[in-house]
Amino acid sequence: MNCLFCKIIAGDIPSNKVYEDETVYAFRDIAPQAPTHILVVPKAHIADCNGVTAENSGVVAHIFEVIPQIAKAEGLETGYRVVSNCGEDAGQTVQHLHFHILGGKKLAIEMA
């Protein structure tokens, strides 16, 4: 499959890894929007939030267990934001489900 994040997970494209287990991979965003900007992805290819089903939602729950561990390891004690863009109107550019962790500064509140 011609998917950038599948290639990163496979190690075919280098990345700056911050966390990995059997089902989840996390790495630093190549174009950080905040002092800490990490992408957390399921190893199994899911295109976006619309691809989450009863069969694969366990990995999403697991991602939300892993996110606080990463935030703690990154020293984000005063807070952070988790974002997932789904589809064209949200500006999704990589069609492999991912959760941005943004932190390390007081973030602007801009929902639209």
**Residue placing its CB nearer to ligand 5GP in the complex, 19 or 55:** 19
Question: Among ligand 5GP, Zn ion, none, what does residue 91 contact (CB within 5–8 Å per kind)?
Answer: ligand 5GP
Give CA–CA dist 35/38, Å, rounded: 10
- At closest approach, how far in Å is the CB of 92 from ligand 5GP? 4
* Angle of CA points 10, 12, 50, to nearest 5°: 50
67, 42 in Cβ contact below 8 A? no
Q: Is 100 a catalytic residue?
A: no
Give CA–CA dist 82/3, Å, rounded: 22
Q: Is 82 in the site for ligand 5GP (CB under 6 A)?
A: no
Q: Is 59 in the site for Zn ion (CB under 5 A)?
A: no
Q: Spell out, one character per residue from 26 to 45, where the chain touches Zn ion: x when CB under 5 A holds, - when not.
A: -------------------x
Q: Which of 77, 6, 3 is nearest to 41 (CA)?
A: 6
- Catalytic residue from among 45, 62, 98, 100: 98
Q: Is 15 in the site for ligand 5GP (CB under 6 A)?
A: yes
CA 32 from centroid of its chain's CA atoms: 13
Positions touching ligand 5GP (CB under 6 A) are 4, 13, 15, 27-31, 39, 85, 91-94
